[in-house]
């Protein structure tokens, strides 16, 4: 790399502040007035990937190898050296669901929905959900039943004619929103488990954010390497085992309680997670079906 002019006359090309080094002390931009040849651009790109944003590699390595460590670092005030947790959560969740959407579009999976079968039982034609009869022959259906039937018709037609394609797309669109509801509810459960010594609610939220980021990273890795015959099979077995240990280790490291207490609280958190996930997934399915 060529020597850069950072003498008294050199100023930042972005904000005009006089420079005292290779980076502007006001805006952080690197001072690089030289023409960009292909070689110069390639060297800069290699340096940017390997050195400039070392926070990325430090964050990912700490995330994968040290459960609970990033949460401890955050509340210890050592935050600048790592990527912001909320930003990392949003980026990886977007990457994950975008990747799953691409994979799903390349390999459509037939899903047999029980709702479609239940609705079609009263249908006047075998391939339509429009004219099903809610009456029992002696009385007219209640108004709420008629309104419910009208609301479910688009989803039923989509299942019959498109194999539920639009319903699955609506579900994929709504699940990230569901996770935003699920995470603070799990943190509320953890507040009831860790009441002595007193912990702030945001501590549980941030630990869960870091744990979800790790799970998202594992799912992205599994989605990318899953098609590889032996590697995909190995990862599908190893990642759930490691993820379960990871959740235990993160709680053990951050809260500092005994193995027995941590295992008991992990079991309670997983139970709470499962129950809330079932309720919210059901609600997400119904909302997706009724708003299709």
Both 188 and 235 in one domain: the answer is yes
Both 105 and 147 in one domain: the answer is no
Both 127 and 268 in one domain: the answer is no
Both 14 and 42 in one domain: the answer is yes
Q: With beta carbons less than 8 A apart as the criterion, state whether 82 and 205 touch.
A: no
Mean pLDDT of 215-225: 89
Q: With beta carbons less than 8 A apart as the criterion, state whether 156 and 119 touch.
A: yes
Single out the residue of 159, 175, 184 nearest to residue 283, CA to CA.
175
**Angstrom distance (rounded) from CA 1 to CA 263:** 54
Both 87 and 169 in one domain: the answer is yes
Per the model's pLDDT, the better-predicted residue between 21 and 124 turns out to be: 21
Long-range contacts of 260-269 (CB under 8 A, 24+ apart): 265/190, 265/193, 265/194, 268/189, 268/193, 269/186, 269/189, 269/190, 269/193
CA distances for 82 relative to 62, 68, 69, angstroms:
9, 14, 11
Single out the residue of 74, 104, 47 nearest to residue 210, CA to CA.
74
Mean pLDDT of 130-138: 52
Identify the domain boundary among 139, 162, 185. Answer: 162
- How high is the pLDDT of residue 97? 82
Both 98 and 167 in one domain: the answer is yes
Both 200 and 231 in one domain: the answer is yes
Both 176 and 92 in one domain: the answer is yes
Mean pLDDT of 170-185: 83
Q: Residue 269: exposed, middle, or buried by beta-carbon count in 10 A (0-12, 13-18, 19+)?
A: buried
Both 233 and 250 in one domain: the answer is yes
pLDDT of 213 higher than 80: yes
pLDDT bin (cut points 50, 70, 90) of residue 267 is very high
Both 218 and 83 in one domain: the answer is yes
- How high is the pLDDT of residue 99? 82
Mean pLDDT of 149-161: 66
pLDDT-above-90 percentage for the chain = 29
Both 170 and 267 in one domain: the answer is yes
Per the model's pLDDT, the better-predicted residue between 61 and 152 turns out to be: 61
Per the model's pLDDT, the better-predicted residue between 32 and 129 turns out to be: 32
Quote the domain boundaries for residue 27.
Answer: 1-52
Mean pLDDT of 169-178: 78
Number of compact structural domains in the chain: 3
Instruction: Quickly list H helices, 66-200.
Output: 69-75, 85-106, 114-120, 143-162, 165-193
pLDDT bin (cut points 50, 70, 90) of residue 27 is confident
151: its two tokens: 């609301």
- How high is the pLDDT of residue 269? 95
Phi-psi region of 112 (alpha: psi -120 to 50; beta: other; left: phi over 0): beta
Lowest mean pLDDT among 46-55, 188-197, 271-280: 46-55
**Angstrom distance (rounded) from CA 82 to CA 267:** 30
Both 254 and 200 in one domain: the answer is yes
């Amino acid at each position: 790399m060529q020597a850069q002019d950072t003498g008294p006359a050199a100023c930042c090309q972005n904000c005009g502040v006089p420079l005292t080094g290779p980076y502007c002390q006001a805006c952080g931009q690197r001072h690089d007035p030289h023409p960009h040849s292909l070689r110069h651009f390639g060297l800069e790109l290699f340096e940017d990937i390997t050195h400039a944003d070392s926070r990325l590699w430090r964050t990912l390595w700490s995330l994968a190898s040290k459960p609970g460590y990033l949460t401890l670092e955050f509340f210890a005030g050592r935050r600048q050296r790592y990527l912001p947790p909320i930003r990392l959560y949003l980026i990886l969740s977007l990457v994950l669901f975008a990747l799953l959407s691409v994979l799903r579009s390349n390999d459509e999976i037939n899903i047999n929905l029980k709702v479609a079968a239940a609705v079609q039982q009263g249908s006047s034609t075998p391939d339509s959900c429009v004219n099903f009869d809610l009456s029992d022959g002696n009385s007219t259906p209640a108004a709420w039943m008629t309104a419910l039937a009208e609301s479910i018709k688009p989803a039923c037609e989509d299942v019959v004619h498109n194999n539920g394609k639009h319903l699955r797309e609506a579900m994929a669109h709504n699940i990230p929103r569901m996770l935003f509801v699920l995470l603070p509810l799990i943190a509320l459960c953890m507040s009831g488990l860790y009441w002595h010594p007193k912990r702030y609610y945001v501590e549980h939220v941030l630990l869960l954010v870091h744990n979800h980021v790790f799970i998202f990273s594992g799912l992205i890795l599994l989605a990318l390497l899953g098609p590889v015959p032996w590697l995909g099979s190995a990862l599908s077995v190893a990642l759930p085992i490691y993820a379960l240990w990871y959740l235990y280790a993160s709680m053990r490291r951050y809260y500092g309680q005994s193995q027995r207490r941590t295992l008991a609280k992990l079991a309670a958190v997983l139970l709470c997670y499962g129950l809330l996930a079932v309720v919210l997934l059901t609600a997400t399915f119904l909302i997706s079906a009724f708003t299709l």
